[in-house]
A and B are shown apart, each in its own frame.
Chain A
């Protein structure tokens, strides 16, 4: 359906003709025409037409026709044709096209001019053809119109004045509408070329242009329009004050062009529209020019002051209001640019809309699109600013959720994990499972907990994501987080399986950017499980060799150093640490450099026990750490403060080491739980006393820098450190007594007395009821693990357990108290310990705590002699898939339970499992093989079917064990060495038995057979 806009323009042009005849006349009231004479009627109708009162004028003309029409040809002759002509003009003005055509037809056919001079007869008999054509244009009868125009041009008399511009425009309109673009353009360009000469109105030109655009769209000939605009741009761009009123029409044409996939044409059309500001300037200029004149002719147009003022008012409204055409144009451009993939172009458009047209009706849409495109083209924090503005300004918008989703992904990418947790937690409950939004939110929330080390909260979310969204675009990071988080939770085997699965499922480094991190975690797990060969294989072959540019290469070398050190390759370990340091320094990775330096110093300090030159070698690394890398993290600062003492002491800089540690203690003391402070105080005390006495230590602790009366945990631990000093003095005195040193007994008495006094001071200064629960735990743990009087800790634990709302501290306190009771030989105490552990096992939700409780219960039951229960608990532990931490110990307990219940076959089988699977762990393998050998020996079944006898088996097993573990002797603790030597003695004893074929004999036989 074609618009009729262009016709309105033509009508405007016609109206001009009459305006030139007469100034605006006042409207005449409708009056009865009956009885009026023809002369009076003709004169009246003319006046009405001059006054542009078309409806009334038509009524008068109709009355004339009605009263006189039938007899007019005979009564008035051709002259009456002018009545039909004027009637037709009125009908055109009133858009009564059909009636107008009839009027002009009557004028032409029935009232031929018979006056050769054309003065007194119907002087419109040819001119009416022109208007017949114009009425046909109005009626969209294009062929008829063309015929009439041609006929007019053929028949017209010289006296028939016409507007050539308008006629050519009408020709153009007709041709465009019948699809003849060539002839349409010919006529249109004739007008354009003669625009000044013809004084063609701008409205007429725009009417033809609109017809051209519509014809082009219908005929799908975009190029024709582009060529036309390129050639005639100047003519189409009319004065801004005028052009702007046609802007909606141009917008419409551009929109039609877009819908017809003629985007080039659309863009050209948008370019033709002047900005509102320019239109205002031009309108103001015209108004100024008019002064107080109501109307003013300007070229081919008339300016109407009232209209201009009204237009100015509307333009001002538009400029500051919501319907500014610039808004529509910018929005359309945003669409076009984004459609073609120029998202930054769309962003720029929306940015301008937000910045300069923030009062637009559709601001919500525009701002949303600004947010959307800003996130897409990565404009940093600006995207978040826009998003926050959207949420603030349109809190009820249905797009708020989507904006929050976009914000979340960006916040996550920016590493703003705490904010992600805050916003993601608030969002996730409202999101439907299975939607993209839920997928993203779950990923971000799980990932944020992971990155902030809130691993217990992270795990269920990550597990859920991996399970629910296997096809998610976040599946790779989430699967990695899931595995890595499991590792951080301490489930090494589970994490290992997940990491192996992850590396197998996503083996392409280009696709899987988390691969180096996964390999690093996997290598670390192998290392922690003492699987040194695979640890080295993963770290060296799969990580360092395959990803030489990865950004954790320095950390990988540190891990490699740790692995090599564990396999006693100290020189190679040092090389690895040095390489790690080199890379970290080159990359400016302060944390990795700090780690490397701590590793190097630690290695050299250990070596320094045998060769103190190593301490000298460590010194530059200590200095480098404090000079350049002490900001690599609190952890490494604490580590270096503790390990550097031998190095600085040898360099005669012990006070410097004390100063470093003093600062670390001050910082650590601010931790309510005072984690690690006990070790720090122990090392500080030991080294402080090397250059000071106990009195000075007490003084130091009393006035320790940065530790006030409020730092109760730290102060209590300091008091305990002093107790520990006197306990050590007591121990030393005890040894002297054994050796018969004179005066040792006095020393012992004095030391014990001081211990008592200091304990009293502790209790007096730190009343359990006054201490925060966390401090109760710290003091309790210190007393339990670091002093000779662990039972002194019980009141602290009791208080912590009995307090209300103590969920955070309940289980550690129960665990501490149970541990103390468990160490007792008193069955009642053991029973109390069992009770506490049972409570932990039943009530705790954290798997680690439950596992520990079950392990300790098994231990206590065994100790208590309740072997059946111990067996049940041990089995329960070993059947729990996730329990690995104490597995060898619990296996040993189970074996012992069988053993004590006289279940030799079960016991032997379990002992065999233990020592063969954990040979390197002398702590469990040695006692296991001892009992295995003894029980096999006692069982004493003969060999059968080629298998050796029980005794031969006992001997051979022991011999092989000794042979394989001999390289570990240097690493064994004295306790382990004692047990290992016990195995060796047993082997030797069995070897002397004549029943036994020695390994030397077996070897000789084997060689003989070969």
Chain B
């Protein structure tokens, strides 16, 4: 049996040769192995299949050991620096750069790609997210098809994989299916980022099926669900809000009345006008992620008003002691 494991691992190891022209030896990833009794040891992972791993007991060990994955309670591969760099680039919103770094991770750590929740699985997922953030839905679809959905176990990853279906509907312009699908999430507690995505896809679909007023509410969820941290959809949602309000006859009427000064302001249109002004301002402040407000919407800024009856108090969370300093 050990021979079979070894043979498979050798095949996996050969994959890494392409990515390591400059390195003489195999890539060794620090890994914690816990056996069924819960006893752990630090090893250096060299290769893995879905059933077995090959590791060395220390970095300089000349020999390796093979073991069945089933014999371990858990395997934890430390995030390689390369992956951390990719993540930093992703968080810094440099998605193209992050993709390049992800490719490096995928190549360099290909021999251990089979590890569930391992660095390659995480890198693969990050790749999907980069394509989504870049609005490259075609590549997202391609990458998603190649993605092993069992390679990540966390609920949040799995939920995100489900949410990609909405993006797929968006790509295929299946608007009615998309709104129905989005409605299924109405009562599901998602993370703010996921809530923003669902609302964004739903908003676009509603807009396409000529329900701009309903779309407005969805776009407002996009820009508030995680405070605009989902900067791509938040920025686009903000612009879509402005587009809808710009085309709204009631808002146009309110604008004319406002410009005329002294004319009575129509209630509904004026609320929309102030909403547009606020979103334009928020776009400049934060939602636009540093981009300039398109010139066709800049006129909205002059209709900005601060609301005297905004929620009764400013947010002032108590200073709480951090845990575990």
Q: Are A510 and B264 in contact, CB atoms less than 8 angstroms apart?
A: yes
Q: Are A292 and B39 in contact, CB atoms less than 8 angstroms apart?
A: yes
What are some 22 contacts across the A-B interface (CB < 8 A)?
A12-B325, A230-B290, A233-B93, A246-B322, A248-B319, A249-B319, A255-B316, A258-B314, A259-B314, A275-B226, A281-B156, A288-B76, A289-B32, A307-B323, A335-B310, A341-B304, A342-B282, A344-B217, A345-B275, A345-B278, A348-B217, A377-B271
In the bound complex, how far is the Cα of B323 from the Cα of A593, in angstroms?
Answer: 75
Q: Which chain A residue lies CB-closest to B34? A: A291
In the bound complex, how far is the Cα of B308 from the Cα of A339, in angstroms?
Answer: 7
Task: Decide if B133 is an interface residue (CB 8 Å cutoff).
Answer: no
User: Which residues, 180 to 236 on B, are CB-close (under 8 Å) to A?
Assistant: 187, 189, 191-193, 195, 216-217, 220-221, 223-229, 231
| CB < 8 Å neighbour of B154 from A252, A281, A365 | A281
Supposing A234-B89, A347-B220 touch, asked if A275 and B193 sit within 8 A by C-beta, the answer is: yes
Task: Decide if A161 is an interface residue (CB 8 Å cutoff).
Answer: no
In the bound complex, how far is the Cα of B89 from the Cα of A867, in angstroms?
Answer: 109
Task: Decide if A251 is an interface residue (CB 8 Å cutoff).
Answer: yes
Q: Which among B4-12, B79-87, B162-170 touches the partner chain?
A: B79-87
Task: Decide if B70 is an interface residue (CB 8 Å cutoff).
Answer: no
Task: Decide if B315 is an interface residue (CB 8 Å cutoff).
Answer: yes
- Against A, the Cβ 8 Å flags (1 = close, 0 = not) of B49-85 are 0000000000000000000000001101010010011
Supposing A259-B316, A355-B187 touch, asked if A271 and B38 sit within 8 A by C-beta, the answer is: no
Q: Are A249 and B322 in contact, CB atoms less than 8 angstroms apart?
A: yes
In the bound complex, how far is the Cα of B322 from the Cα of A3, in angstroms?
Answer: 12
Q: Which chain A residue lies CB-closest to B231? A: A271
Query: Other CB < 8 Å A-B pairs besides A268-B286, A337-B223, 5 of them?
Result: A196-B85, A338-B311, A341-B278, A352-B224, A378-B271
Q: Are A334 and B311 in contact, CB atoms less than 8 angstroms apart?
A: yes
Task: Decide if B320 is an interface residue (CB 8 Å cutoff).
Answer: yes
Task: Decide if A180 is an interface residue (CB 8 Å cutoff).
Answer: no
Q: Which residues of B contact A251 (CB under 8 A)?
A: 315, 317
Supposing A245-B322, A291-B32 touch, asked if A337 and B264 sit within 8 A by C-beta, the answer is: no
Q: Are A352 and B281 in contact, CB atoms less than 8 angstroms apart?
A: no
CB within 8 Å of B: which residues of A? Answer: 3, 5, 8-9, 11-12, 196, 203, 226, 230-235, 237, 245-246, 248-249, 251-252, 254-255, 258-259, 263-264, 267-268, 270-272, 275, 277-278, 281, 284-285, 288-293, 296, 298-299, 304, 307, 310-311, 314, 326, 328-349, 351-352, 355-356, 365, 369, 372, 376-379, 510-511
Q: Which residues of B contact A12 (CB under 8 A)?
A: 325
Task: Decide if B141 is an interface residue (CB 8 Å cutoff).
Answer: no
Q: Which 6 A-B pairs rank lowest in CB-CB distance, beginning with the nearest? A: A234-B88, A289-B76, A342-B278, A332-B315, A291-B34, A234-B92
Shortest distance from the beta carbon of B220 to any chain A beta carbon, whole Å? 4
User: Which residues, 292 to 320 on B, are CB-close (under 8 Å) to A?
Assistant: 304-307, 309-317, 319-320
Q: Which chain B residue lies CB-closest to A320? A: B189
Task: Decide if B263 is an interface residue (CB 8 Å cutoff).
Answer: yes
Q: Are A338 and B76 in contact, CB atoms less than 8 angstroms apart?
A: no
Q: Are A234 and B87 in contact, CB atoms less than 8 angstroms apart?
A: yes
In the bound complex, how far is the Cα of B221 from the Cα of A307, in angstroms?
Answer: 35
Shortest distance from the beta carbon of A766 to any chain B beta carbon, whole Å? 58
Supposing A245-B323, A268-B286, A378-B268 touch, asked if A345 and B263 sit within 8 A by C-beta, the answer is: no
Task: Decide if B40 is an interface residue (CB 8 Å cutoff).
Answer: yes
Task: Decide if B261 is an interface residue (CB 8 Å cutoff).
Answer: no
Q: Which residues of B contact A304 (CB under 8 A)?
A: 324
Q: Which residues of A contact B275 (CB under 8 A)?
A: 341-345
In the bound complex, how far is the Cα of B320 from the Cα of A252, in angstroms?
Answer: 8
Q: Which residues of B contact A249 (CB under 8 A)?
A: 319, 322
Task: Decide if B155 is an interface residue (CB 8 Å cutoff).
Answer: yes
Supposing A249-B322, A335-B314 touch, asked if A343 and B271 sit within 8 A by C-beta, the answer is: yes
Q: Which chain B residue lies CB-closest to A12? A: B325
Q: Are A291 and B311 in contact, CB atoms less than 8 angstroms apart?
A: no
Q: Are B306 and A271 in contact, CB atoms less than 8 angstroms apart?
A: no
Q: Which residues of B contact A333 (CB under 8 A)?
A: 224, 227
Task: Decide if B90 is an interface residue (CB 8 Å cutoff).
Answer: yes
Supposing A342-B279, A342-B282 touch, asked if A255 and B40 sit within 8 A by C-beta, the answer is: no
Task: Decide if B96 is an interface residue (CB 8 Å cutoff).
Answer: no
In the bound complex, how far is the Cα of B173 from the Cα of A962, in angstroms?
Answer: 85
In the bound complex, how far is the Cα of B41 from the Cα of A292, in angstroms?
Answer: 11
Q: Are B307 and A349 in contact, CB atoms less than 8 angstroms apart?
A: no
Q: Which residues of B contact A11 (CB under 8 A)?
A: 325
Q: Which residues of A contact B309 (CB under 8 A)?
A: 372
Supposing A285-B154, A341-B275, A342-B278 touch, asked if A291 and B319 sit within 8 A by C-beta, the answer is: no
CB within 8 Å of A: which residues of B? Answer: 32, 34, 38-40, 73-74, 76, 78, 81, 84-85, 87-94, 117, 154-156, 187, 189, 191-193, 195, 216-217, 220-221, 223-229, 231, 263-264, 268, 271, 274-275, 277-279, 281-282, 285-286, 290, 304-307, 309-317, 319-325
Q: Are B323 and A345 in contact, CB atoms less than 8 angstroms apart?
A: no
Q: Which residues of A contact B290 (CB under 8 A)?
A: 226, 230
Supposing A234-B88, A296-B32 touch, asked if A291 and B40 sit within 8 A by C-beta, the answer is: yes
Q: Which residues of B contact A275 (CB under 8 A)?
A: 191-193, 226
Q: Which residues of A contact B285 (CB under 8 A)?
A: 263-264, 267
| CB < 8 Å neighbour of A328 from B39, B89, B91, B315 | B315
In the bound complex, how far is the Cα of B236 from the Cα of A761, in angstroms?
Answer: 85
Q: Are A8 and B325 in contact, CB atoms less than 8 angstroms apart?
A: yes
In the bound complex, how far is the Cα of B310 from the Cα of A335, in angstroms?
Answer: 6
Q: Which chain A residue lies CB-closest to B263? A: A510
Q: Which residues of A contact B228 (CB under 8 A)?
A: 267, 271
Q: Are B271 and A337 in contact, CB atoms less than 8 angstroms apart?
A: no
Q: Are A340 and B304 in contact, CB atoms less than 8 angstroms apart?
A: yes
Shortest distance from the beta carbon of A311 to any chain B beta carbon, whole Å? 6
In the bound complex, how far is the Cα of B324 from the Cα of A9, in angstroms?
Answer: 10
In the bound complex, how far is the Cα of B92 from the Cα of A329, in angstroms?
Answer: 21
Q: Are A5 and B322 in contact, CB atoms less than 8 angstroms apart?
A: yes
In the bound complex, how far is the Cα of B319 from the Cα of A291, in angstroms?
Answer: 34
Q: Which residues of B contact A5 (CB under 8 A)?
A: 322
Q: Are A248 and B306 in contact, CB atoms less than 8 angstroms apart?
A: no
Supposing A510-B263, A510-B264 touch, asked if A345 and B220 sit within 8 A by C-beta, the answer is: yes
Q: Are B279 and A345 in contact, CB atoms less than 8 angstroms apart?
A: yes
Q: Which residues of B contact A230 (CB under 8 A)?
A: 290
Q: Are A341 and B224 in contact, CB atoms less than 8 angstroms apart?
A: no
Q: Which residues of A contact B278 (CB under 8 A)?
A: 337, 340-342, 345
In the bound complex, how far is the Cα of B224 from the Cα of A331, in angstroms?
Answer: 10
Q: Which residues of A contact B320 (CB under 8 A)?
A: 248, 252
Q: Are A233 and B310 in contact, CB atoms less than 8 angstroms apart?
A: no
Q: Which residues of B contact A377 (CB under 8 A)?
A: 271
Q: Which residues of A contact B91 (CB under 8 A)?
A: 233-234, 237
In the bound complex, how far is the Cα of B93 from the Cα of A272, in angstroms?
Answer: 13
Q: Which residues of B contact A344 (CB under 8 A)?
A: 216-217, 220, 271, 275
Q: Which chain A residue lies CB-closest to B312? A: A365
| CB < 8 Å neighbour of B306 from A291, A329, A341, A348 | A341
Q: Are A267 and B271 in contact, CB atoms less than 8 angstroms apart?
A: no
Q: Are B73 and A291 in contact, CB atoms less than 8 angstroms apart?
A: yes
Q: Which residues of A contact B195 (CB under 8 A)?
A: 352
Shortest distance from the beta carbon of B96 to any chain A beta carbon, whole Å? 14
Q: Which residues of B contact A346 (CB under 8 A)?
A: 310-311
Shortest distance from the beta carbon of A320 to any chain B beta carbon, whole Å? 10
Q: Are A270 and B227 in contact, CB atoms less than 8 angstroms apart?
A: yes
Q: Are A271 and B229 in contact, CB atoms less than 8 angstroms apart?
A: yes
Shortest distance from the beta carbon of A471 to any chain B beta carbon, whole Å? 16
Q: Are A235 and B88 in contact, CB atoms less than 8 angstroms apart?
A: yes
Q: Which chain B residue lies CB-closest to A235? A: B88
Supposing A230-B290, A248-B320, A289-B74 touch, asked if A326 and B277 sit within 8 A by C-beta, the answer is: no
Q: Are B314 and A255 in contact, CB atoms less than 8 angstroms apart?
A: yes
Q: Which chain B residue lies CB-closest to A264? A: B285
Supposing A271-B229, A311-B323, A348-B220 touch, asked if A255 and B310 sit within 8 A by C-beta, the answer is: no
In the bound complex, how far is the Cα of B156 from the Cα of A291, in angstroms?
Answer: 22
Q: Which residues of B contact A378 (CB under 8 A)?
A: 268, 271
Q: Are A343 and B307 in contact, CB atoms less than 8 angstroms apart?
A: yes
Shortest distance from the beta carbon of B35 to any chain A beta carbon, whole Å? 9
Shortest distance from the beta carbon of A887 to any chain B beta carbon, whole Å? 42
